[in-house]
Amino acid sequence: MVGRNSEIEGSDDELSIAAIGDVADITCWSGIPYHFWKAALRRGLHARAIRLDMREFAWSRRLWNARQLLCGHSARGYQYSRSFLRRAEDRMAKDWNGGRIITFNQHFPRTSTICALGGSLWHYLDATFASLCEPGGAGENLPLRIRKKGIELECENYAGGHIVMMARWAAESVVNDCGVPAKKVATILPGANVDLPPDYSFPFDERVPGKERPLVLGFVGKDWQRKGLPFLLQVRNELERMGFPAVVRAAGHCPKELRRTAGLEFVGFIDKAVAPGTFLEFLASCDLGCLFSEREPLGISTLEFLRAGVPVAGFAIEGLADTLPPDAGFRFPPASPACDVAETLRIVFTDHNAVARLRGRARYWSERVTWERCVGEWVELLTTGKIANPVRPWL
């Protein structure tokens, strides 16, 4: 599959990494394909990035949208169309020399296309398209016909390909929503999009939170509402009401009217590609990394906090449940009242020994939520067909 002297034997073809966009660009799909590709290279694999420049599809998109409007349809869903997929697969041929492809997309490339060219396709996904089309999902507002065609193509792709999901709930969706036998579906936890310097030591403010300084509740997210920033502010208010000072330190996006909220320290968007050190400093400055999402395919930000040695908290829902180690954080039932969450945090963070244990376990998980570990599990799966000791934080 990859070159001679590789850990993955059987072919001289390169391993190719695909996504909707340029895999060699750290901004492609939150940087997940990029970090996977880079970790594969560091491991010594002959991994090639499929580089789709989405600007090349601008005119094709406009023409497709115009045709949809002329036919009385909504001009939404171009990337799920056969027009886009054909064009994208033609562009992909410039980067692909055969062999295995690991794709981070449900539809691109199509399994039938890859198999016809003598290759094999492996999907590595955080969610099925079918689950994203459910109420509250990212695809629920797509036109019905696009959703139906997208689900049909997804099922076709999985039937002829290989499927690895990032979380248990997504693997269950592949079986229940797409009709794939459970024995064909594997699960590998992804890594955190954070690199620690070789000489990194975990910093920590030794002042007692709640007494000598406020407890710092960390938040990272562009989709601030779905990811639970308003709820986290409610938790902070409940802590204050209990006489336990706390602040919410947030990075990402936040509406102007919310930025004036008492107890919110909004630091804005931190570009990890430009300022990775600044992002790491932000993570390490928090006492607890929080993600109280209503829907969450995975929860990369919780892995990022763990990578920085910071305990985590959130609703144990969907893929997020797989990123909340019970020994290094808090797993709350979905829709838990803010007062209950606050009371739990107050009790634990009043106990200095409990806090020390939490941070110690978070540092333990730091070495296990890396892309290097993820790629290692992939190598094991591709060479032996199974993973002997997969990392499972939820246990």
Domains and CATH numbers, the chain: 15-191+370-384 (3.40.50.2000), 215-366 (3.40.50.2000)
Q: Angle at Cα 263 formed by Cα 261 and Cα 268, nearest 5°? A: 70
How do 47-49 and 15-18 pair as beta strands? parallel
The tokens of 368 are what? Answer: 């296990």
- The residue written with tokens 């929503």 in the block is 177
List the one residue out of 344, 355, 297, 357 whose CA is nearest residue 139.
Answer: 297
Show the 3-state SS of 285-322.
CCCEEEECCCCCCCCHHHHHHHHCCCCEEEECCHHHHH
- The residue written with tokens 């990029």 in the block is 34
Residue 8: what pLDDT? 58
Residue 206: what pLDDT? 85
Residue 228: what pLDDT? 97
Instruction: Name residue 252's beta-bridge partners.
Output: 221
Q: Is 264 helix (H, G, I), strand (E, B) or coil?
A: strand
**Mean pLDDT split into 10-residue runs, the chain, 395 residues:** 43 79 96 97 96 96 92 90 96 91 98 95 98 91 94 97 97 97 97 94 88 96 95 98 98 93 96 92 97 94 98 97 97 97 97 95 97 98 95 94
Residue 7: what pLDDT? 58
The tokens of 149 are what? Answer: 């065609």
List the one residue out of 352, 319, 395, 341 whose CA is nearest residue 125.
Answer: 319
Q: Is 28 helix (H, G, I), strand (E, B) or coil?
A: helix
Residue 12: what pLDDT? 40
